Amino acid sequence: MAETTYLFVPGDRPDRFAKAVASGADAVIIDLEDAVAPEDKDSAREHVEAWLAGGGRALVRINAPGTPWFEADAALVTARGVAVVVPKAETPGVLAGFREVVALVETALGVERAGELAAVPSVTRLAFGSVDLAAELGVAPEDHEPFAYARSRLVVASAAAGVAPPVDGVTTDLRDDSRLAADVRYARRMGFGGKLCVHPRQVAPVRAGFAPTEAEREWARRVLTAGASASVVDGRMVDRPVLERARRILGD
């Protein structure tokens, strides 16, 4: 099953790397981009290099193509053979230069090219950068409605390319548990399969929110127990796509 929780940790805080791994997140992303000030970029890269050289495991979000730090960041992840999160993903050729990529789509051009990005062989997953896209579009990042098209675009592009469902963007409010829960419910309803987290306390609620509910599991068991020859369960038609959905819910 694909990862549902991706936890960011700042690249200039090596004291937090192990704590992030211990949080229980499915994947940890050491961030060299937004979480690190320009004057700290080089030292942060050195911290990441030391962590990886010592056997640490994590994805690395590098700085975007076209920035002064991209080449050095790219050389680091390539030399270490680790998966990379590429921000401002817009150009398929850039993504093809890495072994394993999570493409962070957070610009209007990136959204429009989502199908091309997802089809790059090295891309294992798309992720949605709602905060950056909100700034470009001039809308509030916490408002769901302006991003319905962008989210659907990523979901359809991922399915068409045969990669895992995309990862939704961050919930920046660390105190509002109800907001986090609502964001997870909406992302799951839209077809997303995971979420970026910015604090360890978000990991458990996000994982729980993406897990099938007991009602969904019970429905899936009834469908599969009835067998492929059944045509109706709970008053609704059952055919091959319904059976496949039931199997996905139960992890069969």
Q: pLDDT tens for residues 11-66?
A: 999 999 999 999 999 999 999 999 999 999 999 999 999 999 999 999 999 999 99
Q: Round to whole Å and give the CA distance between 210 and 248.
A: 13
- Count of residues in the chain: 252
Which residue in 158, 93, 92 sits closest to 128, CA to CA?
A: 158
For residue 29, the model assigns a pLDDT of: 98
Same domain, 137 and 67: yes
Please name the residue ranges forming H helices in 191-239.
203-210, 214-226
CATH number where 124 lies: 3.20.20.60
Same domain, 11 and 39: yes
Determine the average pLDDT of the residues in 101-118: 98
> Do 127 and 66 belong to one domain?
yes
Which of 196, 191, 182 has its CA nearest to residue 164? 191
Question: Does one domain contain both 224 and 129?
Answer: no
- 157 and 243 housed in the same domain: no
- Same domain membership, residue 243 and residue 119: no
Residues 122 and 148 occupy one common structural domain:
yes
* The pLDDT value given to residue 217: 75
Domain with 221, as residue range(s), is 216-250
Could you tell me what percent of the chain has a pLDDT over 70?
96
**Mean pLDDT lowest for which of 119-133, 156-170, 202-216?**
202-216
> What pLDDT, on the 0 to 100 scale, is given for residue 197?
98
More confident residue, 251 or 160: 160
d(CA 193, CA 6): 11
Helix, strand, coil shares, percent, the chain, to 5 = 50, 15, 35
Split into its structural domains, the chain has a count of 2
